[in-house]
Structure 1
Amino acid sequence: LPLLCEEKKIPYVYVPSKQQLGKAAGLEVAAASACIIEPGDARDLVEEIAKQVQELKVKAGSKT
């Protein structure tokens, strides 16, 4: 997925485990990936998080 996200300029992050991702997504099972389709009232928060992730990647020397 990272290559596809980079190609489409979609922000992404790695998480410690599939179990934690599933739990964070409100699932009782592990999840390999998750995405935000419509942030609704959280749009500003999602944009701020994406901005901070990008800044961290730049500091770490990543292309995206």
Structure 2
Amino acid sequence: MFSFVIYALLMAATYCLVRGISDLRQQRYIWAAAGLLIGIISIGILFLPIETHAVSIGPLNS
């Protein structure tokens, strides 16, 4: 399940980057900026650490 989400996000980011470059070459600057920005943000999300468990350090009430 988790790897499916990673692959889906990677494919979406790749599509946005390719579409952004295509729009840039066709001089559609607003769509190009949107595609490139979303692609870069999507790739940035892939590098965020995902918290899998909580670790408690000592008692809460001391």
TM-score, normalised relative to structure 2: 0.36
Larger radius of gyration: 2
Structure with the largest fraction of helix: 2
TM-score, normalised relative to structure 1: 0.35
Larger RCO, structure (CA 8 Å, separation 6 or more) = 2
